[in-house]
Structure 1
Amino acid sequence: MSETSRTSGGDLRRLGVDIYAQWTAMWNGELALAEKIMAPDFTLRYTQANTEAFDGIRTPAGLAAVIEAWRRSRTELRFAAEGEAVVDLALVDGAPTGLVARPYRASFTGEDGETVARSGTDTLRITGGLITEVWSVSSGAAGRTFYR
């Protein structure tokens, strides 16, 4: 029996949702996850304003360092997955490969003391069980949330 036939679509879906949850936890400060979930060489594609710092990052250590520095200036920022994940994974040579996409919510306390929330969507390309490419789009500073 092949590895593909022993792994159900539900198992791959759960795996994709778990990878996304770890991606989110990494952004919330669990920086050791970078070495666990990111490929040794990857590409980040961010469309948000002021995200140029991510353009040249290609290693897990580099990503963890930038997230750590970035979070120092945004200590209250919290990311959470929202909505349904879209998981399109298959086993290739025994390892999950494909795409995982999910909306997220970023929230923080604004200068007026009110909670500010913005939505975005991250799409993760998984190759051999590791994140090799990320596309990230958010509503930005003047944006809104997808979910209430």
Structure 2
Amino acid sequence: MKRTIWFSSVMIGMLCSSFVLAKTEITGTYQCEGESNINNKPFKGTLEIHKHEKKGLYETKFTYRDGSKDVGILKPSKKENVYVQYFHSAVPNEASGFTRFTLKSPQELAANYVYISENTGDIATGEAVCTQKKKR
């Protein structure tokens, strides 16, 4: 009997936690840190996510430490708590790529990205953790 109650409690908790994550609003400002495969260079910057005028889409802006920017569109995938982003440099014809964001908690996104430099043809991949800044 105790096992049944314990098992039921665990199952309900798992169900509710994924429901809470699925309903989490991802708009806001995030600090991102990770690594890129280009010279094992640290990856650091600020990600801003805003609702797009088209329902279900988000506009993104990423600002790197050096001040350069990427802009993009983010949308939920069919997989729960996973979002896919297409982005490109704010400066035309520099770089473009894709990012897969996985919602790890209401304040944390895990990012896996790939981009190609339109100038050199170099392909970079990497991963980062993005933590939402506290709202004031």
Question: Smaller-chain TM-score range?
Answer: 0.3 to 0.5
TM-score scaled by length of structure 1: 0.41
Larger Rg belongs to: 2
Structure having the larger proportion of residues in helix = 1
* Structure possessing the higher relative contact order (Cα contacts under 8 Å, 6 or more residues apart): 1
TM-score scaled by length of structure 2: 0.43
Structure having the larger proportion of residues in strand = 2
